Structure 1
């Protein structure tokens, strides 16, 4: 691992731990998510700026850290990627569906490199739904989330084609699992 990637990993870990951020439903330390996203990105490119941005992709959105701090620490190219990956819609800009549309429109205009990182982000989040063994998954939330990500894929076609295929496959698997869960619930009622 290059020194810049190690610094980004350490920075992301410290930022997410500083607010004791946990994964939804599993309550695991949040840093497992950027770790997975960085590994997925590293599986398709050796671009260290992209891998650093993968580590840092949720830092500005989820913690008190700013884009300016990212730029001071890692430089403009990485900060630009992180800014592209940061959701822009705020709670005051409408309901979840409206905010998802605002963020999707923003994502449609980001660079190919950022779209590749976003695909890795989607893959890891969808994998969490597919592999849920906690029994804590909120099925209505998961359905809405999967639908949002299916729409998001329509603006990510310029990202890495292998990751796009993986994300598309995961959307299908999530939908099948959610449908099977509905049928199971109907059968037990």
Structure 2
């Protein structure tokens, strides 16, 4: 990733923490929290590895092709799941963005000199800016004091992996990180 090393390390820490939290969500007793948590964990850890500053680690060219294969497979998986919910469509966009960045890195010989297609980079930046704003607005407190499920009953959180607001904050953080990574293209 281009840019100052301190920003790269902050992205590494943020994305690794989000990946770890998503692994914790995979153990949740709530189906809604487990759904998609594995894909989000892979995305978080993949972004963390991609954000390591180039001055510290210049990965071999073959690693970028591994990224293309892993996130290409994740994208193919999300194509099937995107029919079920808009959130899986977001996972598809994220996987394709990772493929795009990995291809740019592979064609640029690694971190240095990697540049993408300006129009595609711009479209992804607009998408992630809108996603971040929408996600941030959804985290704002509602008028009611309690959280109510769609069925009318109160949502009970049993553990850290069951907290819907933490999952929303995790998604928001990963959206911000993806936006920051795309800015360096």
Q: TM-score range by the shorter chain?
A: 0.3 to 0.5
What TM-score comes out, normalization by structure 2 length?
A: 0.37
- Specify which structure has the bigger relative contact order, considering alpha-carbon pairs within 8 angstroms and separated by 6 or more residues: 2
What TM-score comes out, normalization by structure 1 length?
A: 0.36
